[in-house]
């Protein structure tokens, strides 16, 4: 048990040590800040308590184990040892008893036989003597008697071999004795000389006084008689030797009358000097006939030697020592060879047991004497199991043999080793084995427990750590979530003041009383505010995404058009840099896709503005292609591929194919690939990943030189990831950055538009067009050229004015000479040129020259000459001019005067080229028509000016306008909250157009009619509108600068009641808001009907409908209507619906209204009014069927624009239907 205690102690010691260590660690950590401290203390105290508990559990388990094993050991040992010992002991007892009993029994039988012989001798002697003494004894008779006696005695003696001697001592002193000498193995007859005995006398005398005389005579006789010894044949009893004289009493002990003093049998142990063992001699008197006197004494002597022999045999077999003593302690027999007699001066004497020469016997006797000094237990029986003799442990047993004359004590000494030696040894071994085994088990058990509890404690520790970490993480997440949520919730609070600032600045800007300087300052403030708002929006967007509130919309939009609009906007921005912005979308991209257009636009807006920020000169290319098939038919792609030398391309296309495969499997989504390629300062390759992190800029110093927060790319990546795409910076040859991304968008099912475009494109190749691209930007030019070439349109590329002239000159010479059937060789500028010219010259129909206005030398007045120079080609070629945004009005006027009516703003992308081509083809057709019809309005046609609007308000033909319009509107709606800059521009832009149209519808009707009269009716409305625009554009510049337009709108909107004639139902419960909104709307010229809750709103609408129906039946009934305003209203144009109202809230009301509309096919626009500004609310509003969404407090402008956009669509719709009818 020492080992477990040791381990426990060790454990305690160790725990103390670890405690100290942890405390020390605590001490060091204390310096590391207060925040950690608390947590750590918590953790450490937890740890400590758990440690203690673990420790206690360990100790308890170990103690239990120890007790268990101990008990088992003891029990086992006890059972094995004690039972064995007990049974062995009883066995041993039996053995010892038996061992001792046998010599005793022998002794007893020896005694008995001696006594029997003696008795038999006595009886025989009595018989013989009585026969001879019945008559007076004569000498002869006497001799005869003695002879008979001798024969009788011999017979007895011979029959009992064990007898040592048999003696007959007659009254008269005559002695007859037979003796066996064991040493010489001879048998002798010993007798005394008869001469000295007077038989008669003595006999007679003896009869009178027996006792005295007997004694005297015997003494006398003994002294005086001569003893003879005759050796006999031991079998036959014949004399075999001569008689020898021997000294009396010398040889054997002759029992005389002295030994039978009282006439009864006596026993005693005798010694003789001839034998080394004592004798047992018995003596019996022979009485005469009258039984009054003793006539002879018969003695028999038996050697105890045989008993000793038996003892020896026993001991030889069983080991140990046996001895017999007389009661006084004289040794009678031993199992050893130690002498029993001691020669003293007085002859041999018996040895006391305590003085025996044998060590064991001596020690045993001494031990017994010590243990029982005086009083032997009754009957002398002693059983001692554990007597220590010398250095041995022995069993000592003594038995008492109670003979009347000769009490004897038998003692047996058996070494314990003999009986129990093996058992003791085994017991010891078992004990040792048991203890060692138990110790081992205990040790192993302790180790196991240690390991086990170690694991448990480790697990507990880990678990505690895990719990605390989970807690910490939960807290951190919660706090981060709170932050994001807070920011998201703050959106309204943050945006409202900014919107107010901007709005007020707008108001200020339209004030006439501002001086120029003030105007400039305010404009600057406005710009700054817009920038600040954009920044705010960025941050809020980010937080919205982080808080998981950003929900991507799923609406159909024209991806190409959105991107074109974006490029238009940015090209206006980067006009000051010497920068070329190019849009290169491959033709295989589906026109209409489903997705969140505003977010897509935001992605590219951020990327492009980023590129613009870091690019001072060169170009920015936005490439787009689609992974429908692995063959990139986009011309930009092929160009790019050539440039990249296919090194990086192979894995890339593989990757793209993989993505495409994945995406194709997913619900019909396609991967759209885009690249934004600029020639700016570039990004260090090590920063390619980190630029997409929040607040991260490639070079920290750039924020000083370029500004920006570094949020843009982060938002981009978040959005791209959200759309299931990926964005990364890619290695690029040459300076600049190449960012590649792909988005997963589902293409719209409507493939009509695309087909149409394809159709129109194929049409060009039929018409065998020739296009001369006189553009300053080389990249854009080559891209366009490539594309046109693929479409089957021949192109020339021209970089500057002189080149243009050089090409134009020979070309038209060729052409004219071709017409005249003469060929001028020297005029062809180059072989290629001439080849091309000859190729295209045949069947050539249309020449289109696209001229960049910057090719003109605008710094001096040479440009006018240049224009005139071009004038001579005017009839033969169609000129299209690419204007800068800041191209001055005089240039435009001049161009127009020179008959260059096809003008468009930078940048030139495919849609615009297609428009140019279409216009050219149309013109050609017209010309042909005119040639055929010789129409008188040809002159008017010459003056038609086509300016393709940079915002290409109605890019497509009118049959598509409805869808496009919705698209546009939806975008606007979203833009309103998210991207005020763009949205305001577009909204305002649209608004301007709405108002224009209104104006023109009302005022310039005649002009429009005049204008359009010259066209055939097939010309789409957009050309009409463009025409109108351009007319109006003489008063104010159209579409070049958004800000201008904005101002224009404001100046226009101020004096005008833009909502004139609209009937609006306002459902609002708060009286204050009711009043404010009503007044606002009324000021704009709308007719407002106010109701207090959703139920009333629904009722009012129903009533209107009924009224309408009833009026249709009979106009008179309508007069019954209670509300004068309602009564004369056919129906409402729009509903402004507060979301939270008593009785029936806005959502409910909208649902009811939409439900009611289901069958009728009508759709009344409903605009939500809500104090919430989250997109989730917006989503909810749109979900229940509202069309738009306004936040409180109401922003007047926003409200007007929203209302207009909604009602305008409706009116357009109704207008369209009306015109259809007419």
Partner 1 sequence: MDGGVGLLQRQLVDYRASLFNEGILNEQFNQLQSLQDESNPDFVVEVVSLFFEDSVRLLNELAKSLDQRNVDFKKVDAHVHQLKGSSSSIGAQRVQNACIAFRSCCEEKNVEGCLKCLQQVTKEYYLVKNKLEILLKLEQQILAAGGSIPVQSEVI
Binding site for partner 1 (CB under 8 A): 500, 504, 1069-1073, 1075-1076, 1079-1080, 1082-1083, 1138, 1140, 1142, 1171, 1192-1194, 1196
Measured distance CA(1000)–CA(153) in Å, rounded: 188
Q: In whole angstroms, give the CA distance from residue 250 to residue 273.
A: 8
In the bound state with partner 1, the residue whose beta carbon lies nearer, of 289 and 1143, is 1143
- Complex with partner 1: residue 153 or 491, whichever CB lies closer: 491
Query: In this structure, what token pair is assigned to residue 497?
Result: 């003041």
Tell the smallest beta-carbon distance from residue 1186 to partner 1 (Å): 18
For residue 399, the Cα-to-chain-centroid distance in whole angstroms is: 86
Of the pair 74, 1079, the CB lying nearest partner 1 is at 1079
Query: Which stretches within 934-1015 are classed as H helix?
Result: 938-942, 961-978, 980-1002, 1005-1013
Sign for the pseudo-dihedral over CA of 597, 601, 602, 603: positive
- Residue with smaller CB distance to partner 1, 644 or 1082: 1082
* In the complex, minimum distance from the CB of residue 1014 to partner 1, in angstroms, rounded to a whole number: 45
- CB of 1061 vs partner 1, minimal distance in Å: 17
Whose Cβ is closer to partner 1: residue 22's or residue 1070's? 1070
Whose tokens are 């052409």? That residue is 815
Query: In the complex with partner 1, which residue's Cβ is closer, 587 or 1093?
Result: 1093
Give Dmax over CA atoms of the chain in angstroms: 223
Closer CB to partner 1, 190 or 1078, in the complex: 1078
Q: Could you give the C-alpha distances from 224 to 167, 214, 219, in angstroms and in order? A: 19, 14, 8
Question: Minimum distance from CB of 1100 to partner 1 (Å)?
Answer: 21
Please name the residues in contact with 743: beta carbons below 8 A apart, sequence gap of 6 or more. 595, 600, 603, 671, 672, 674, 720, 723, 724, 725
Select 999 or 1194, whichever has its Cβ closest to partner 1.
1194
Cα–Cα dist 608/571, whole Å: 10
Q: Which residues pair with 741 in a beta bridge?
A: 674, 727
Identity of the residue, 96 or 492, whose beta carbon is nearer to partner 1 in the bound complex: 492
Residue number, 509 or 1104, with CB nearest to partner 1: 509
Query: Distance (Å, rounded) from C-alpha 720 to C-alpha 701?
Result: 27
In the complex, what is the shortest distance from the CB of residue 1127 to partner 1, in angstroms, rounded to a whole number?
22
Nearest approach, Cβ of 1057 to partner 1 (angstroms)?
A: 12
With CA atoms as reference, report the closest residue to 1163 among 960, 962, 961.
962
Question: Could you tell me the CA-to-CA distances from 629 to 63, 587, 632 in Å, in that order?
Answer: 78, 12, 7
> Is 74 or 500 the residue whose CB approaches partner 1 more closely?
500
Smallest separation, CB 1070 to partner 1 (Å): 4
Residue pointed to by tokens 């040992």? 77
Question: Cβ distance 1159 to 1139 under 8 Å?
Answer: no
Pairing of strands 279-287, 294-303: antiparallel
**CB of 1172 vs partner 1, minimal distance in Å:** 10
Q: Are 350 and 378 in contact (CB under 8 A)?
A: no
For residues 876 and 847, the answer to whether their CB atoms sit within 8 Å is yes
467/1079 with CB nearer partner 1 = 1079
Question: Rounded to the nearest whole angstrom, what is the least distance from the CB of residue 500 to partner 1 in the complex?
Answer: 5
Least distance (Å) from partner 1 to the CB of residue 504? 6
Distance from C-alpha of 563 to C-alpha of 343, rounded to nearest angstrom: 149
CB nearer to partner 1: pick between 266 and 1170: 1170
Provide, rounded to whole angstroms, the least separation between the CB of residue 1192 and partner 1: 6
Quote the least distance from Cβ 688 to partner 1, whole Å.
Answer: 44
Q: Which residue, 513 or 934, has its beta carbon nearer to partner 1?
A: 513
Taking the C-alpha atoms of residue 458 and residue 1156, their distance in angstroms, rounded to an integer, is 69
For residue 987, the minimal CB distance to partner 1 (Å) is: 19
Token digits of residue 676:
């934004």
At residue 310's C-alpha, the angle toward residues 100 and 320, to 5°, is: 55
Helix 980-1002 and helix 1005-1013, axial crossing angle in degrees, nearest 10: 90
Pair 210, 202: CB distance under 8 Å: no
CA distances from 525 to 31, 212, 705, 728 (A): 50, 177, 21, 36
Cβ 680 to partner 1, closest distance in Å? 39
Q: Which of 580, 570, 758, 604 is nearest to 672 (CA)?
A: 604
Q: How far is residue 676 from each of residues 574, 741, 857, 993, measured CA to CA in Å? A: 15, 9, 32, 32
Q: Which tokens in the block code for residue 972?
A: 């606007």
Candidates 1070, 1192, 1064, 1191; CA nearest to 1142 is 1070
| Strands, E assignment, 217-344 | 227-232, 244-246, 266-270, 279-287, 294-303, 321-326, 331-334, 341-344
CB of 1174 to partner 1, least distance (A): 14
> 428 or 504: whose CB is closer to partner 1?
504
Nearer to partner 1, 415 or 1193 (CB): 1193
d(CA 749, CA 556): 10
Element (DSSP H or E) covering residue 395: strand 392-401
Closest CA to 1110 of 1126, 1096, 1087, 1088: 1126
Minimum distance, C-beta of residue 513 to partner 1, in the bound complex (Å): 10
Nearer to partner 1, 78 or 1083 (CB): 1083
Given a contact cutoff of 8 angstroms between Cβ atoms, the answer to whether 1062 and 1050 are in contact is: no
CB of 1068 to partner 1, least distance (A): 9
By residue count, the chain amounts to 1222
């Amino acid at each position: 048990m020492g080992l477990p205690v040791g381990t426990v102690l060790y454990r305690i010691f160790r725990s103390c040590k670890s405690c100290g260590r942890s405390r020390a660690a605590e001490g060091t950590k204390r310096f590391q800040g207060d925040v950690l401290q608390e947590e750590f203390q918590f953790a450490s105290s937890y740890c400590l308590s758990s440690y203690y508990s673990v420790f206690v559990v360990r100790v308890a388990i170990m103690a239990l184990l120890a007790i268990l094993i101990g008990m088992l050991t003891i029990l086992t040992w006890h059972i094995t040892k004690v039972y064995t010992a007990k049974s062995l002991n009883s066995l041993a007892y039996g053995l010892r008893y038996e061992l001792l009993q046998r010599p005793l029994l022998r002794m007893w039988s020896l005694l008995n036989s001696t006594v029997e012989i003696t008795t038999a001798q006595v009886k025989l002697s009595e018989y013989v003597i009585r026969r001879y003494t019945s008559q007076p004894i004569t000498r002869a008779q006497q001799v005869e008697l003695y002879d008979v006696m001798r024969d009788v005695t011999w017979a007895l003696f011979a029959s009992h071999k064990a007898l040592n001697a048999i003696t007959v001592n007659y009254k008269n002193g005559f002695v007859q004795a037979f003796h066996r000498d064991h040493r010489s193995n001879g048998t002798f007859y010993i007798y005394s000389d008869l001469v000295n005995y007077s038989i008669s006398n003595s006999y007679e005398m003896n009869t009178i006084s027996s006792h005295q005389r007997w004694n005297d005579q015997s003494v006398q006789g003994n002294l005086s008689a001569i003893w003879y010894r005759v050796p006999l044949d031991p079998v036959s009893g014949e004399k075999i030797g001569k008689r020898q004289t021997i000294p009396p009493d010398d040889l054997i002990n002759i029992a005389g009358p002295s030994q039978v003093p009282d006439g009864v049998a006596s026993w005693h142990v005798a010694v003789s000097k001839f034998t080394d063992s004592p004798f047992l001699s018995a003596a019996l008197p022979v009485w005469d006939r009258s039984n009054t006197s003793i006539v002879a004494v018969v003695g028999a002597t038996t050697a105890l030697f045989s008993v000793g022999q038996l003892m020896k045999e026993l001991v030889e077999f069983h080991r140990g020592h046996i001895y017999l003593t007389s009661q006084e302690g004289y040794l009678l027999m031993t199992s050893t060879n130690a002498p029993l007699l001691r020669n003293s001066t007085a002859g041999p004497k018996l040895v006391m047991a305590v003085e025996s020469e044998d060590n064991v016997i001596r020690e045993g006797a001494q031990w017994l004497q010590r243990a029982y000094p005086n009083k032997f237990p009754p009957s002398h029986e002693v059983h001692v199991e554990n007597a220590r003799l010398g250095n041995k442990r022995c069993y000592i047993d003594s038995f008492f043999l109670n003979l009347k004359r000769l009490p004897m004590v038998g003692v047996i000494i058996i070494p314990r080793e003999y009986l129990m030696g093996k058992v003791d040894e085994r017991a010891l071994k078992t004990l040792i084995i048991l203890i060692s085994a138990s110790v081992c088990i205990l040790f192993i058990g302790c180790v196991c427990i240690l390991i086990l509890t170690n694991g448990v404690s480790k697990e507990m520790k880990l678990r505690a750590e895990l719990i605390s970490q989970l807690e910490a993480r939960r807290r951190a997440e919660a706090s981060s979530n709170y932050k994001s949520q807070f920011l998201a919730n703050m959106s309204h609070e943050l945006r409202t003041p900014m919107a107010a600032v901007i709005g007020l600045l707008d108001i200020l800007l339209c004030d006439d009383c501002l001086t120029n300087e003030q105007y400039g300052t305010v404009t600057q403030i406005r710009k700054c505010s817009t920038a600040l708002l954009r920044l705010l929006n960025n941050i809020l967007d980010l937080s919205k995404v982080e808080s998981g509130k950003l929900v991507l919309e799923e609406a159909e939009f024209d991806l190409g058009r959105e991107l074109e609009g974006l490029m238009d906007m940015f090209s206006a921005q980067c006009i000051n840099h010497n920068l070329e912005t190019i849009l290169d979308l491959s033709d295989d991209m589906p026109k209409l896709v489903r997705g969140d257009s505003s977010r897509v636009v935001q992605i590219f807006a951020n990327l492009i503005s980023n590129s613009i920020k870091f690019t001072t000169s060169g170009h920015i290319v936005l490439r787009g292609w689609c992974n429908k098939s692995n063959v990139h038919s986009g011309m930009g792609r092929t160009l790019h591929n050539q440039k990249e030398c296919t090194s990086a391309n192979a894995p890339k296309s593989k990757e793209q194919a993989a993505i495409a495969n994945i995406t194709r499997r997913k619900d019909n989504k396609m991967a759209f690939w885009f690249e934004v390629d600029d020639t700016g300062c570039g990004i260090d390759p090590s920063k390619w990943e980190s630029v997409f992190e929040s607040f991260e800029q490639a070079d920290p110093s750039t924020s000083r030189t370029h500004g920006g927060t570094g949020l843009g790319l982060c938002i981009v990546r978040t959005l791209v990831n959200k759309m299931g795409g990926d964005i990364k910076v890619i290695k690029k040859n040459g300076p600049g950055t190449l960012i590649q991304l792909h988005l997963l968008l589902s293409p719209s099912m409507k493939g009509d538009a695309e087909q149409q475009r394809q159709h129109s494109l194929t049409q060009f190749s039929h018409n065998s067009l020739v296009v001369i691209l006189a553009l300053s930007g080389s990249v854009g030019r080559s891209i366009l050229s490539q594309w046109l070439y693929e479409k089957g349109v021949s192109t020339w590329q021209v970089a500057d004015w002189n080149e243009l002239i050089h090409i134009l000159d020979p070309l038209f010479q060729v052409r004219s000479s071709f017409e005249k059937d003469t060929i001028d060789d020297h005029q062809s500028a180059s072989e290629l040129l001439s080849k091309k010219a000859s190729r295209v010259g045949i069947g050539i129909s249309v020449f289109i020259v696209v001229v960049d206005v910057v090719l003109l030398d605008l710094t001096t007045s040479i440009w006018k000459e240049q224009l005139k120079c071009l004038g001579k080609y005017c009839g033969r070629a169609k000129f299209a001019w690419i204007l800068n945004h800041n191209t001055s009005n005089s240039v435009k006027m001049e161009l127009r005067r020179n008959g260059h009516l096809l003008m468009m703003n930078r940048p030139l992308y495919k849609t615009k080229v297609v428009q140019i081509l279409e216009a050219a083809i149309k013109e050609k057709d017209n010309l042909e028509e005119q040639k055929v019809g010789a129409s008188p309005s040809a002159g008017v046609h010459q003056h038609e000016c086509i300016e393709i609007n940079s915002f290409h308000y109605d890019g497509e033909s009118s049959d598509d306008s409805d869808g496009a319009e919705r698209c546009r509107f939806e975008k606007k709606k979203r833009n309103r909250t998210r991207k005020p800059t763009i949205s305001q521009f577009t909204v305002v832009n649209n608004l301007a157009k709405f108002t224009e149209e209104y104006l023109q519808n009302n005022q310039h009707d005649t002009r429009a009619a005049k204008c359009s009269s010259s066209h055939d009716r097939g010309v789409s409305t957009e050309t009409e509108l463009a025409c109108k625009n351009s007319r109006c554009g003489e008063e104010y510049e159209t579409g070049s600068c958004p800000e201008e337009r904005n101002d224009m709108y404001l100046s226009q909107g101020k004096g005008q009641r833009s909502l004139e004639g609209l009937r609006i139902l306002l459902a609002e419960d708060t009286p204050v808001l009711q009043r404010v909104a009503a007044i606002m709307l009324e000021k704009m010229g709308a007719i407002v009907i106010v109701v207090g809750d959703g139920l009333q709103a629904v009722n009012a609408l129903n009533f209107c409908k009924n009224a309408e129906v009833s009026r249709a039946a009979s106009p008179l009934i309508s007069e019954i209507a209670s509300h004068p305003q309602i009564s004369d209203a056919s129906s409402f144009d729009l509903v402004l619906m507060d979301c939270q109202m008593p009785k029936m809230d806005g959502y409910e009301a909208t649902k009811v209204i939409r439900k009611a509309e289901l069958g009728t096919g009508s759709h009344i626009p409903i605009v939500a009014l809500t104090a919430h500004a989250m997109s989730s609310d917006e989503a909810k509003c749109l979900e229940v069927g509202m069309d738009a969404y306004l936040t409180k407090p109401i922003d007047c402008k926003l409200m007007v624009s929203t209302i207009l956009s909604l009602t305008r669509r409706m009116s357009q719709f109704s207008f369209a239907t009306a015109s259809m009818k007419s």
